[in-house]
Structure 1
Amino acid sequence: MKTFLLATAATALLSGTVLAADLPRRAPPPVFTPVPVFTWTGFYLGVNAGYAFTESDTIRTTGIGALQGNVNNNLRRPNVVVSQEGFSAGGQAGYNVQFTPGSGIVVGVEADAQYTDLQRTRTEAIFNPVLNPNVLTNSYRTELGFLGTVRGRIGYAFDRVLVYGTGGFAYGDVTQSVSFRTGAPVTYAGSRSSIETGYAYGGGIEFALPTESFLNFFRASAVTVKGEYLRYDLGSRNLFVANVGPAGTPGVGYNARFQTEGSIARAGINYKFGTY
């Protein structure tokens, strides 16, 4: 009997072991990999293109001494509008810092430079024989060859959407000229070309595309697209339009005052390198 009981217990134990071996094994728990939270922090480079147009584009002329009579009589126009519009294209570089990943305040600095197709020449002929027997020809030219800025930026990020304001230093290559003819020869002329400085301000909205976007040619940590408006003001300057005739008299002529300011509405693309 004792032998029978021991054999029965051994058989039961062996059968339980075999059945346990046939049961499916418990799979290990999946490894959780957190998805990185997007941040705007990092260095970026990009390009932009858009539409530029001028504001306060009236040349105001006054005569020195007796020549003011010509201005009063509209022989030399007191106010001449030289509105300008055209395209702009250039590039930018900057650095952003986001204080809290995901959504939060973003601050940064950006420098940009762009060519501007802002140039205008206006020529008009005036004939008033009661006041002057000659045909008077007045020519005006103004041009902004390029515009650059160095600006601070501050905004708020809603994850991959950034809304921001911007403002800072602006500079540009400004060319201005005026010539007055009495009959055939040029009797009064003046011109200047220099780098003028001032300020710029504006705002925009920027959106970060998925990293695997087809636009990510440079394998950047992010590609962003933006729409932006900037207003610039490089100040006003007086141009002396001097007497250049054969009997030219120093200090005799006209003063033409130019104002250089306008706006740019543009779109751009940036490639961000650095923190995801």
Structure 2
Amino acid sequence: MDGQNAQDSLVVTRWLQAWGLATLISVAISAEASAQEVWNDWSGPYVGLSFGAFRSTGEAERAGYSGSLLTLDVENGLFPNSIDGSKESLTGGIGLGINRQHGAFVSGVEIDISGLDHAQELKFSRVDPNPLPPFNGIDTNTAYRTEFGTLATLRARGGYAVGRNLYFATAGLAAGRVRNTFSLDLPDLGYSSPGWSNKSTRVGYVAGLGMERRMTEHLNLKAEVLYVDLADERIKGTDSVAFPGEQIDYKFKNEAVIARVGINFTF
């Protein structure tokens, strides 16, 4: 009987071990399933912070000219057909949005505002080859300046959720403060042009791509790249006192690329 009792006790012990292991596996599976539901649920509102780089070229293109002096100057290469460069500035901002999910497809709307202080100046200098005084051999300097201020966007977002990741495209409206300035200096003649510039809040469009990753139930990390176009601005250069009847215009391309990372807090 003692041997039978020992055998029965061993069977019970092994059964309890198997039951315990099955229970642990069941709990783990349930926890994983619950976690996957959290990772895959992108519906609801959120607020976020972002930080990144703002890059523009400051491109300006000659858009027309008139007058005998300026016609000769353009032919002599004193005013470039186009000019551009490259400059980056830091930008940071806040945003809020809301998502709706249908299966794996996630759509939503986001609005954000970014602080920015970006100024880019491009310069062009040539010696006037005109053989006639008073312009023969003088330095002719032009400058093209673009300044960007606060930027806001209102965008639609759409993408697909894959596990903890959301891959999305975004597009919408953009508005920001922009100043474009064109100037001419003839230092040998002591001449500096008046203020040929325009400062305004300009409206354009924005489009981009990004990815968001769920780190916890209420915390997501994101990275995105946006292209912003705040529309071209034409600046007219005239001086009715010093150069009557002369005019040269430059068209500024107010566009930029933003690369940024951020944190979204969901509700």
Matched residue, 1:201: 207
Q: 2: CA distance between counterparts of 1:83 and 1:61? A: 21
TM-score (norm 1): 0.75
Q: CA deviation at 1:269?
A: 0.4
Larger C-alpha radius of gyration, 1 or 2? 1
Q: CA deviation at 1:111?
A: 0.7
Matched residue, 1:230: 226
Q: 1: CA distance between counterparts of 2:43 and 2:264? A: 13
Matched, 1:147 2:147: no
Matched, 1:115 2:109: no
Partner of 1:95, secondary structure, is strand
Matched residue, 1:99: 102
1:261 aligned to 229, 235, 255, which one?
255
Q: 2: CA distance between counterparts of 1:130 and 1:158? A: 67
Which residue identity is paired with 1:42?
G
Identity %: 29
Q: CA deviation at 1:49?
A: 0.9
The alignment of Structure 1 onto Structure 2 pairs a total of residues equal to 230
Whether the aligned pair in 2 keeps the contact of 1:145 and 1:173 (CA below 8 Å) is yes
Question: Cα distance 1:160–1:150, how it changes in 2: closer, same or farther (>3 A)?
Answer: same
1:53 aligned to 55, 62, 79, which one?
55
Matched, 1:40 2:42: yes
Matched residue, 1:186: 192
Q: 2: CA distance between counterparts of 1:105 and 1:260? A: 34
Matched, 1:127 2:127: yes
Matched residue, 1:159: 163
Q: 2: CA distance between counterparts of 1:54 and 1:187? A: 26
Q: CA deviation at 1:69?
A: 2.3
Segments ≥4 residues shifted beyond 6 Å? none
Q: CA deviation at 1:117?
A: 4.3
Whether the aligned pair in 2 keeps the contact of 1:51 and 1:88 (CA below 8 Å) is yes
Partner of 1:68, secondary structure, is helix
Give ranges in structure 2 of 5+ residues lacking alignment: 1-22
Q: Any residues of structure 2 matched to 1:233-244 within 5 Å, and which?
A: 233-243=229-239
Which residue identity is paired with 2:139?
V
Partner of 1:75, secondary structure, is coil
Whether the aligned pair in 2 keeps the contact of 1:234 and 1:261 (CA below 8 Å) is yes
Q: CA deviation at 1:238?
A: 1.0
1:150-201 CA-partner distances (Å, limit 9, x unpaired): 0100111123211111111111111110111232122464100011111111
Matched residue, 2:5: none
TM-score (norm 2): 0.77
Matched residue, 2:20: none
Partner of 1:76, secondary structure, is coil
Whichever structure has more helix as a proportion of its residues is: 2
Give ranges in structure 1 of 5+ residues lacking alignment: 1-29, 212-221
